[in-house]
Amino acid sequence: MPKPVPLPRLASVPPADPPYDERDGGGHVTRPGTYGALALAPVPRRTGTPTDERRLRGLGQALAEILAGRRPPETVQDRLTERAYRELVRAGKMIDTERPPLTGLPHVQRPRDGVIEMCLLVHCGPRSRVLAVRLERQGVQWLVTEFETA
């Protein structure tokens, strides 16, 4: 029986280079703003609570169902500004689908205090769509001021 060949000892690996990102005084990573360049935008960290994301997803789901003609727009009228509600009613059925649409998790950005922008992937058959929604705080209530789908 052949004798096993001894394996060479592995040399210790030096530590990796330190991260090349900027850190503020509290140790948090600061990133340059990339708004307007979606392909280059950093993946947002989940800063909201799961309840907030669930509510945002529920609102996006309701808007997707309205745009698919499966829910009356009156059901979300109190969550939209007057102008956004008129646009929603005027838009009518924009998503053509044979089955009810299903939204994915929202990707949320907070460009400034009192503003939330989110986009959701809407699964509606062989071709998915994207729904973008902007909410602004008006008093103690968050209202949809803009929406767009493609």
- Give 102-115 as a DSSP string: EE---EEE--STTE
Residue-wise pLDDT for 56-108, tens only, equals 999 999 999 999 999 999 999 999 999 999 999 999 888 888 888 999 999 99
pTM of the shown model: 0.66
Residue with tokens 């030096």: 14
Compare 3 and 37 and report the one with higher pLDDT. 3
| C-alpha 124, offset from chain centre | 18
Choose the weakest-confidence range: 25-34, 53-62, 84-93, 122-131: 25-34
| C-beta separation of 64 from 120 below 8 A | yes
CA–CA dist 133, 94 (Å, integer): 15
Spatial neighbors of 144 by CB under 8 A, at least 6 apart, are 59, 63, 76, 79, 80, 81, 84, 133, 134, 135
| C-beta separation of 120 from 59 below 8 A | no
| C-beta separation of 108 from 44 below 8 A | yes
> Per-residue confidence at 26, pLDDT binned at 50, 70, 90?
low
Residue 33 DSSP one-character state: -
Compare 91 and 16 and report the one with higher pLDDT. 91
Percent of the chain with pLDDT over 70: 68
Q: Does the pLDDT value for residue 17 go beyond 60?
A: no
